């Protein structure tokens, strides 16, 4: 896998840091443990990668920002630790947009969608989507505040899972907007996503927003099939303003769900006011981001790339607006 990264990543720009020595040491340790009968589960020995806002002890965590180029955390984040405890092999850290919004920093490479040069790679977790799609890791962590797991997954043709808020700890993950951020996996298959979620989910005292509910056995639940599950389909969303290829892909997925035992029900979803929804999301994100960057902004405003625009808007927002 390390050789594959060396051969291909110059084309795809998924990795900002490759942790060669660590990966080899973890692989040897995993091999020895498994041979000794100390198998930790389905992620033991599996090569993975992390979006570069997940704290990694002793390894640079740049958050896609030039100004964070020298930031090296003193501790692992909770998700980083949980994946290490599961026996994974960390290949490295993945490129992302500046502080996880929509802009890549002008001095940093943009990950390349493997389905065609010039195609969109997704937003902030673009490196994660590209790395999984090109086989430069077997799975990756992304974060999602307004689509940043789902968009790269869709753009690169992989599975992306945005968990319910609080299902996965955000401790040791640099925030974009604390009230909206979610941490989740990007994988090659749905079964892999279930395995990843079981490994990273659970309450964390370091994250007061993390859920105290028990963690289900997601792979076992997945194996039960879809009998008894009702899924609503609003056909209006498949015809209005949607390219035919997208509609065909959704209908193909609907057919698979029906074959797996789900009951498909035609529904009508009231048309949302998307403009107002986006405005509300942007305001909440800007205000939350301003809190996350306290002590950095506005003191170092000139060191930001385009991300400072979000912070500028957050600084203008009043409590009444929020």
Residue at 193 is within a domain: yes
Residue 239: predicted pLDDT: 82
CATH code (residue 198): 3.90.1300.10
The domain of 287 spans 278-316
pLDDT value, residue 236: 86
Confidence category of residue 271, pLDDT binned at 50, 70, 90: confident
Of 82, 124, 125, 210, catalytic: 124
CA 47 to chain CA centroid, Å, is: 17
pLDDT band at 63 (very low <50, low <70, confident <90, very high): very high
- Torsion, Cα 6 97 300 61, to 10 degrees, reads -40
pLDDT (0 to 100) of residue 117 = 84
The mean predicted confidence, pLDDT, of the chain is 96
- Single out the catalytic residue among 125, 126, 128, 148: 148
Q: Are residues 116 and 200 in the same domain?
A: yes
Alpha-carbon gap, residue 222 to 167, rounded angstroms:
17
Work out how many domains the chain is built from and give that number.
2
pLDDT score at 22: 99
Last residue of a domain, one of 192, 222, 252: 222
Asked about 162 being catalytic, the answer comes back as no
192 and 297 in one domain? no
Residue 272 has pLDDT above 90, yes or no: no
Based on the residue annotation, tell me whether 125 is a catalytic residue of this protein.
no
Q: Is the dihedral of CA 143, 148, 149, 152 positive or negative?
A: negative
CA 133 from centre of chain: 14
pLDDT in tens, 1-58: 999 999 999 999 999 999 999 999 999 999 999 999 999 999 999 999 999 999 999 9
Looking at residues 259-286, what average pLDDT do you find?
93
* Active site annotation includes 57: no
- Considering 202, 222, 242, which residue would you say is the last residue of a domain? 222
Does any domain span residue 80?
yes
- The pLDDT of residue 241: 82
Average pLDDT over residues 228-255: 91
The Cβ of residue 113 has, within 10 Å, a number of other Cβ atoms equal to 22
Each residue of 193-238: pLDDT tens digit?
999 999 999 999 999 999 999 999 999 999 998 999 999 999 888 8
């Amino acid at each position: 896998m390390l050789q594959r990264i060396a051969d291909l990543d110059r084309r795809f720009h998924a990795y900002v840091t490759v942790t060669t020595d660590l990966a080899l040491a973890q692989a040897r340790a995993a091999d020895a443990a498994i041979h000794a009968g100390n198998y930790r589960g389905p992620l033991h020995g599996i090569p993975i990668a992390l979006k570069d806002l997940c704290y990694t002890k002793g390894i640079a965590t740049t958050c896609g920002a030039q100004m964070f180029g020298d930031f090296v955390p003193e501790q692992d984040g909770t998700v980083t630790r949980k994946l290490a405890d599961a026996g994974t092999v960390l290949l490295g850290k993945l490129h992302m947009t500046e502080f996880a919004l929509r802009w890549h920093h002008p001095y940093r490479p943009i990950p390349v969608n493997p389905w065609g040069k010039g195609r969109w790679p997704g937003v902030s977790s673009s490196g994660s989507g590209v790395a999984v799609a090109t086989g430069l890791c077997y799975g990756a962590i992304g974060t999602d505040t307004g689509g940043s797991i789902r968009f790269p997954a869709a753009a690169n043709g992989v599975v992306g899972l945005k968990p319910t808020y609080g299902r996965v700890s955000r401790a040791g993950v640099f925030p974009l907007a604390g009230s909206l951020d979610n941490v989740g996996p990007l994988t090659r298959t749905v079964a892999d996503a279930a395995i990843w979620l079981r490994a990273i989910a659970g309450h964390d005292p370091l994250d007061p927003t993390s859920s105290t509910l028990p963690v289900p056995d997601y792979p076992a639940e997945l194996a039960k099939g879809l009998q008894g599950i009702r899924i609503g389909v609003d056909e209006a969303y498949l015809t209005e303003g949607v390219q035919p290829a997208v509609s065909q892909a959704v209908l193909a997925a609907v057919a698979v769900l029906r074959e797996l035992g789900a009951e498909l029900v035609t529904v009508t979803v009231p048309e949302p006011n998307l403009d107002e929804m986006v405005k509300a999301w942007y305001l909440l994100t800007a205000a939350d981001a301003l809190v996350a960057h306290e002590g950095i902004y506005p003191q170092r405003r000139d060191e930001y790339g385009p991300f400072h625009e979000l912070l500028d808007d957050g600084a203008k927002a009043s409590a009444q607006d929020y």
